[in-house]
Structure 1
Amino acid sequence: MIEWVPLSSGARPVPRPVAAPLVWAAALGGALVLVAVLNGTVGTGRPEFALAALSLLAALLGVCAPYAAAPGTALLCWLSLNGFAIPPAGTLTWAASRDALWLACLFGAALAGTSLARLAYARAAYRRLTAARGPAGTGDPGDR
């Protein structure tokens, strides 16, 4: 049963996700900066570090993004990874098994970040609503 609770009762709405184009802009800019920093510190030709860092970036961006932004986020991170983290820099290549795995890893990280955020928001909203209603067994018809 759905019960409408006035917002003045202490219940707050679940935050809305950030628009997908803003998430994609952050993914592209963040991925380029991250790959540049890793290339400067670790060096090129070590894509495992870049993949781990970009997966973390995709998961962090997924926290504030809608589910629809996950494929674009993964693709933009992959473009930076493929184009600048492996030699020759600036050249996009496609090695089917490697790049499919990288795309799946980045996509999974973006989905995991979004899913964890949605679960955390839903759990927090549920706790706020049940705390606003008071203890069970107060004679409220919704308690039955």
Structure 2
Amino acid sequence: MQYISLIREGNGYRIKNVVSPAHVIFVIWLLVGIGVFVYSSYTKTGLSVIAFTLLVLILMILRSSKTRIIPDEKIIKIDTGIRGKEPIQYSFSDFISFELETVYYLRIPLNTELYGRFSADRKTNRHLLGQSFGKGGMQQLSNELEEFLKS
């Protein structure tokens, strides 16, 4: 089956990374740093802003997806981002539901986040699975993941 929001990777899938408000904010900071460097006498400040922003952008691009779905083993691996800690594994049967949260400003969606709820060891955990500007992309991802988890 062909998925739009899931990318085949080895024996599993990863969630496609889309442009989110965090990416745009860091690109704006990069432009501000370039502006400070070129158009003012604060060259050290401009270089510092440029270096920091490029470092964060590179880390965001290199570490694109934290969630892996492995259909053969019927598990979902979620990387917590904590160095040295193994990814959390949930069985498809541990899945409870998806939650969409959208932040609006004057009826314009600024950020939509898709969370997955999983239960393990008698407690419920909520993990961020994806984010984007529009609600449509995250709703499509939610639908594809639900279809995937129920098969």
Bin the TM-score by the shorter chain. Answer: under 0.3
* Greater relative contact order (Cα < 8 A, sep 6+): 1
Q: Normalising by structure 1, report the TM-score.
A: 0.26
More strand by share: 2
The structure with the largest helix share of the pair is 1
